[in-house]
Amino acid sequence: MDPRSAKKKNQGRRAVPATDSPPTLAISGVTATIRLCRPAAHNRIDPDDIPVVRAHLAAIAEHADVRMVVITGTGGRTFSSGYTLEAIQKRLDRSFEDLLDALERFPLPTLCALNGSVYGGATDLALCCDFRIGVRGSRMFMPAARFGLHYYPGGLRRYVAALGATQAKRLFLTAQTLDAAEMLRIGFLTELVDRRRLAARIAAYAAALEDCASGVVSSMKHQIDAIAGGDGDAKQSRTEYETSLQSVELRRRLAALTRERARR
């Protein structure tokens, strides 16, 4: 589907997920939501879902009003069990890894709303996102070592960058299961909330991002990721900083703040 057509089709409406279907896209206000839609199969990710998600990301990129991308699952048990087991043996190539790298590099802020437990490659999907909000009672584990699978480089990198080498070793080398409180403690989760509060926290992030200047949000996201990966370019960061100092957007926002303070 042409990205512009997908944008028009999804603008302002919520997709109604089927019980077993490819991921859906719904755009509402400033938030674009990609939803995994196989709750009976723990929202597994099939190889054929990869081009679907890529098309959704392309459609979102064409939508000027969107300020945040949410990745979530259907139902209350599992966010996702990760890549289909049968595909690991028969259809595993770089397409899943490449998709996660693209999501990690996506210029808009991304939020993984973990509506339930998360396993396998879906843990890496969550780590691709800038923010991860989990619900109490959920769990996670990474079973690669149990399968005899040496995980792909991008996933190992994200684990180490987000959690540190010690916790990455704990999860990969032992395949231990962690509960939600431990997921929060080690930094896998940004926040841990009661299930009934999940939607409200997503809305709070969207509102906060809407109040910020989208250009500097994107540039600072890129630079923070580069620094975290050991590739921080101080010259580029300085250029972005000095450009923002001269921007019309900065002058407009500071003038509005000055007027607001004068009225107090």
Examine the pLDDT at 19 and tell me if it is beyond 90. Answer: no
Shared domain check, 246 and 120: no
pLDDT for the residue numbered 12: 45
Q: Among 264, 117, 129, which Cα is nearest to 182's?
A: 117
Shared domain check, 218 and 123: no
Q: How confident is the model at residue 13 (pLDDT cuts 50, 70, 90)?
A: very low
Domain total in the chain: 2
Shared domain check, 191 and 86: yes
Q: For 29-46, how does the pLDDT look when each residue is reduced to its tens digit (9 = 90+)?
A: 999 999 999 999 999 999
Shared domain check, 243 and 164: no
The CATH number of whichever domain residue 168 belongs to comes to 3.90.226.10
Q: For 63-116, how does the pLDDT look when each residue is reduced to its tens digit (9 = 90+)?
A: 999 999 999 999 999 999 998 877 777 766 789 999 999 999 999 999 999 999
Q: For 235-262, how does the pLDDT look when each residue is reduced to its tens digit (9 = 90+)?
A: 777 888 788 878 888 778 778 778 878 8
Structure tokens at 187: 């930094």
In the three-class reduction of DSSP (H, G, I as helix; E, B as strand; rest coil), residue 174 is classed as helix
137 with 79: CB under 8 angstroms?
no
Name the burial class of residue 121, with classes exposed (0-12), middle (13-18) and buried (19+) by CB atoms within 10 angstroms of its CB: buried
Shared domain check, 180 and 109: yes
Q: Average pLDDT, stretch 139-167?
A: 95
Examine the pLDDT at 16 and tell me if it is beyond 50. Answer: no
Shared domain check, 185 and 83: yes
Shared domain check, 227 and 203: no
Shared domain check, 225 and 178: no
Provide the domain limits for residue 237.
Answer: 214-263
Q: For 120-148, how does the pLDDT look when each residue is reduced to its tens digit (9 = 90+)?
A: 999 999 999 999 999 999 999 999 999 89
- Among 194, 210, 226, the domain boundary falls at 210
For the whole model, what pTM was predicted?
0.87
pLDDT for the residue numbered 39: 96
Structure tokens at 4: 């512009």
Q: Which amino acid is at 117?
A: S
Q: Which long-range contacts (CB under 8 A, 24 or more apart) does 153-157 make?
A: 154/97, 154/100, 154/101, 154/104, 154/124, 155/97, 155/100, 155/121, 155/124, 155/127, 157/229
Shared domain check, 235 and 192: no
Average pLDDT, the chain: 89
pLDDT for the residue numbered 234: 67
Q: Is the dihedral of CA 101, 106, 111, 116 positive or negative?
A: negative
Q: How far apart are CA 122 and CA 179, in angstroms?
A: 16
Q: How far apart are CA 73 and CA 35, in angstroms?
A: 5
Examine the pLDDT at 14 and tell me if it is beyond 70. Answer: no
At 207, which helix (H) or strand (E)? helix 198-210
Q: Average pLDDT, stretch 174-178?
A: 97
42 with 81: CB under 8 angstroms?
yes
Chain centroid to CA 201: how far?
15
Shared domain check, 181 and 228: no
Q: Give 165's contacts (C-beta < 8 A, 6+ positions apart).
A: none
Shared domain check, 250 and 203: no
Structure tokens at 222: 């890129």
Shared domain check, 103 and 147: yes
